[in-house]
């Protein structure tokens, strides 16, 4: 599957393009006149931002369905991307079915997470919800077995995969289908930073999984309620909204799913300390387009509205600044908790896995320390770049304040 073209990453932000994409994700397409008013620069920005935020196929469907005028080259590229991702989606279905078949044959419980369940159930066409890879959750005590099983049956380590086990991440190193070139990630939890609600969501995902047919095989997809909880923690606490505006479309479709008990969804979010994150996601989704909310939820949405601009800005941040912004966000959070000197000291303590990734070793191999100079240089480079960018530092500060609010319980 072709990666996002490099040139899209260099295109700066564009307010009108972002408004159009937000409206499309919110199910409230802008008037045709908004497209007609775009000049060449605006069209280029709209295409680039849509491609890098994985909303290009939503844009293509709207243009095609409404027969809108579009520059010929851009229209051709959008159409080609849609066709390629439609074909890739078919291959992903085949791989998903094969993975489930293999795991089921060994009695390993499994459920496909987030994007797969969304793409293959709530979107009219899977290409409208493109997947980078297929994420499959298995019990933590059988994750290594599942990972090995796939490698013995047509899957290989991805060329870019690092060397680590269940001690580091929420997933094991990426695998690629030898036949279809589809990436698969075996997850043993859903959150990588020791979040206390992880076990409960994992259990819910497993216990409520829905079986469907994919690629002629039975596979197991996360149910709407469990998927909404997973999406909530993933978009907010895990990624601080840098996974992009496609989340808005996901929330709209899940919230309006006929099988979702909305009252239970709010109760479950409260139980998992996700009340504020869910409220903010719903506030963002309603800003983007019509969203039916019960009156008893209005007060929560109103409290979350103050952080909608910060979250929306984070969804469209420039890719080149993501790592730098995250660095200063973490530094701000640490300073608030331990003071500036302790925060700086922690910033200079590398995660063992980060060193291992650079050194090409495992995280428990002492040779990982040979990578410390390279790690420190990269950390210093990002720090200096961020320190010299006043707008980025201000955005990181807003992110930190938003995360502090999200982590509190009402």
Apex 290 CA angle, 78 and 52, nearest 5? 30
The domain segmentation of the chain, as residue ranges, is: 6-70, 91-222, 227-315, 319-406
Report the alpha-carbon distance of residue 401 to residue 241 in Å, rounded: 14
Taking CA atoms, 36 is separated from 63, 67, 124, 192, in Å, by 11, 12, 26, 44
User: What letter would DSSP give residue 408?
Assistant: S
**Where does 181-244 show beta strands of DSSP type E?**
183-187, 210-214, 217-221
Q: Which two tokens stand for residue 366?
A: 């002492």
Closest CA to 240 of 323, 320, 184, 306: 323
Apex 89 CA angle, 215 and 94, nearest 5? 20
Closest CA to 19 of 254, 250, 256, 315: 315
In this prediction, residue 1 carries a pLDDT of 47
Sheet of strand 155-157, all strands in order from the earlier edge strand to the far edge:
155-157, 175-177, 183-187, 134-137, 111-112, 217-221, 210-214
Contacts of 393 (CB under 8 A, 6+ apart): 328, 386, 387
Task: Count CB atoms within 10 A of the CB of residue 204.
Answer: 21
Radius of gyration of the chain (CA): 21
Report the alpha-carbon distance of residue 81 to residue 89 in Å, rounded: 12
Report the C-alpha dihedral over residues 114, 117, 122, 124, rounded to 10 degrees: 110
User: What's the start-to-end Cα distance of the chain, in Å?
Assistant: 44
Mean pLDDT, contiguous 10-residue spans, the chain (410 residues):
65 94 95 94 96 96 95 95 94 95 97 92 91 94 97 94 78 94 94 80 96 88 96 93 96 96 96 96 97 93 97 92 81 61 56 64 68 66 68 90 90
In this prediction, residue 344 carries a pLDDT of 54
In this prediction, residue 355 carries a pLDDT of 62
Report the alpha-carbon distance of residue 353 to residue 355 in Å, rounded: 5
Contact 50, 56 (CB under 8 A): yes
Report the alpha-carbon distance of residue 95 to residue 100 in Å, rounded: 9
In this prediction, residue 219 carries a pLDDT of 94
β-strand 183-187 against 134-137: which pairing, if any? parallel
In this prediction, residue 389 carries a pLDDT of 77
Q: Which fold has domain 91-222?
A: Beta Polymerase; domain 2 (3.30.460)
User: What letter would DSSP give residue 212?
Assistant: E
Contact 251, 285 (CB under 8 A): yes
β-strand 175-177 against 210-214: which pairing, if any? unpaired
Q: How many residues does the chain have?
A: 410
Taking CA atoms, 206 is separated from 115, 149, 189, in Å, by 16, 20, 11
Task: Count CB atoms within 10 A of the CB of residue 15.
Answer: 10
Report the C-alpha dihedral over residues 402, 403, 406, 407, rounded to 10 degrees: -150
In this prediction, residue 2 carries a pLDDT of 45
User: What letter would DSSP give residue 2?
Assistant: P
In the three-class reduction of DSSP (H, G, I as helix; E, B as strand; rest coil), residue 220 is classed as: strand
Task: Count CB atoms within 10 A of the CB of residue 43.
Answer: 17
Contact 156, 181 (CB under 8 A): no
Alpha helices in 106-129 (DSSP H): 114-119
Backbone φ and ψ of 362, nearest 5°: -85, 165
Report the alpha-carbon distance of residue 67 to residue 261 in Å, rounded: 37
Consecutive H or E run containing 179: none
């Amino acid at each position: 599957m072709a990666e996002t073209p490099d040139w899209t990453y260099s295109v700066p932000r564009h307010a009108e393009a972002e408004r159009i994409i937000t409206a499309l994700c919110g199910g409230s397409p802008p008037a045709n006149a908004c497209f007609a008013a775009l000049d060449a620069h605006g069209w280029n920005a709209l295409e680039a931002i849509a491609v890098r935020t994985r909303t290009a196929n939503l844009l293509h469907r709207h243009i095609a369905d409404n027969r809108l005028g579009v520059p010929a080259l851009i229209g051709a590229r959008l159409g080609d991307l849609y066709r390629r991702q439609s074909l890739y989606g078919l291959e992903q279905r085949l791989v998903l079915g094969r993975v489930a078949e293999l795991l089921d044959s060994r009695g390993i419980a499994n459920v496909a997470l987030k994007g797969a369940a969304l793409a293959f159930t709530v979107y009219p066409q899977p290409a409208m919800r493109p997947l980078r890879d297929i994420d499959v959750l298995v019990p933590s005590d059988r994750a290594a077995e599942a990972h090995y099983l796939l490698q013995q049956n047509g899957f290989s380590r991805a060329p870019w995969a690092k060397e680590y086990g269940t001690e580091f991440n929420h997933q094991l190193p990426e695998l690629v289908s030898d036949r279809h070139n589809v990436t698969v990630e075996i997850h043993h939890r859903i959150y990588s930073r020791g979040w206390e609600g992880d076990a409960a969501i994992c259990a819910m995902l497993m216990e409520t999984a829905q079986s469907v047919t994919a690629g002629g095989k039975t596979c197991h997809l996360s149910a709407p309620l469990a998927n909404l909880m997973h999406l909530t923690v993933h978009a907010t606490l895990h990624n601080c909204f840098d996974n992009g505006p496609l989340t808005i479309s996901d929330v709209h479709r899940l919230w309006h799913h006929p099988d979702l008990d909305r009252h239970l969804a709010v109760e479950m979010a409260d139980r998992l300390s996700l009340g504020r994150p869910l409220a903010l996601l719903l506030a963002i989704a309603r800003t983007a387009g019509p969203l039916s909310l019960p009156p008893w939820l209005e007060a929560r949405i109103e409290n979350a509205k103050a952080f909608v601009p910060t979250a929306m800005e984070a969804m469209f941040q420039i890719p080149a600044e993501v790592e730098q912004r995250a660095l200063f966000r973490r530094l701000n959070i640490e300073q608030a908790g331990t003071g500036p000197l302790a925060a700086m000291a922690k910033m200079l303590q590398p995660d063992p896995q980060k060193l291992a990734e650079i050194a090409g070793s495992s995280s428990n191999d002492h040779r990982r320390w040979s990578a410390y100079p390279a790690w420190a240089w990269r950390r210093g480079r990002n720090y200096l770049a961020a320190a010299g960018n006043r707008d980025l530092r201000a955005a990181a500060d807003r992110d930190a304040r938003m995360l502090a609010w999200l982590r509190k319980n009402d």
